[in-house]
Amino acid sequence: MPKHISIWFFTGVLLLVYGVIIFGAGIYALSNPPEHPVVLESLHIDIWWGVALTLIGAFYCWKFVPSGKE
């Protein structure tokens, strides 16, 4: 059991979870378009932002994973 866990690991977990949620919402919005779309809906920014957060979160989780070597 490690003596301490880096705050960056928890940040990575949080970014990963938020990224998956936002990406899922973007995919849902893509398959069920709203009746009155917003002006720049064609950019699908929720999908891009979800992918970016997921990748950053996965990197932080991988980089700062707690190990029992300390």
pTM of structure: 0.85
Confidence at residue 37, expressed as pLDDT on a 0 to 100 scale? 87
Q: How far is CA 32 from the centre of its chain?
A: 21
User: Residue 65, Cα to own-chain centre: how many angstroms?
Assistant: 17
Please tell me the predicted confidence (pLDDT) of residue 1: 57
Q: How many CB atoms lie within 10 A of CB 24?
A: 13
Which pLDDT score is estimated for 66?
87
Q: Which two tokens stand for residue 63?
A: 């980089």
Spatial contact of 55 and 19, defined as CB atoms under 8 Å apart: yes
* DSSP H or E segment with residue 53: helix 45-63
The tens place of each residue's pLDDT in the chain, 70 residues long, gives: 557 889 999 999 999 999 999 999 999 999 998 899 889 988 999 999 999 999 999 999 999 998 766 5
Instruction: State the pLDDT at residue 4.
Output: 84
Give the side-chain half-sphere CA count within 13 A for 41: 13
